[in-house]
Amino acid sequence: MVTEDPRARLLSLAAQRGVSLSSLSDLIGRNSTYLQQFIRKGSPRKLEETDRRTLARFFGVAESELGAPEEKAALSAGNPRRADWIDVPRLALGASAGPGAVAGEEAAIGAFRFAGRWLREQGLDPAQLSAIRVEGDSMEGTLRDGDEILVDRTPRGLRDGIHVVRAGDALLVKRIDTAQPGRIVLVSDNPAYRPIELAPEDVQVIGRVVWKSGRL
Q: Are 76 and 53 in contact (CB under 8 A)?
A: yes
Strands 85-96 and 129-135 come out as parallel
| Residue 107: predicted pLDDT | 59
Mean model confidence pLDDT for the chain? 80
CA atoms within 13 A on the CB side of 87: 10
- The helix/strand/coil state of 46 is coil
| Residue 95: predicted pLDDT | 57
Set out the domains of the chain in order of their start, with CATH numbers. Answer: 6-78 (1.10.260.40), 85-213 (2.10.109.10)
| Residue 82: predicted pLDDT | 43
Q: What pLDDT band is residue 185 in, cutting at 50, 70 and 90?
A: very high
Tens-place pLDDT, residues 57-94: 778 788 888 888 754 444 444 444 444 788 888 876 66
Least confident of 13-22, 43-52, 106-115, 139-148: 106-115
| Residue 216: predicted pLDDT | 63
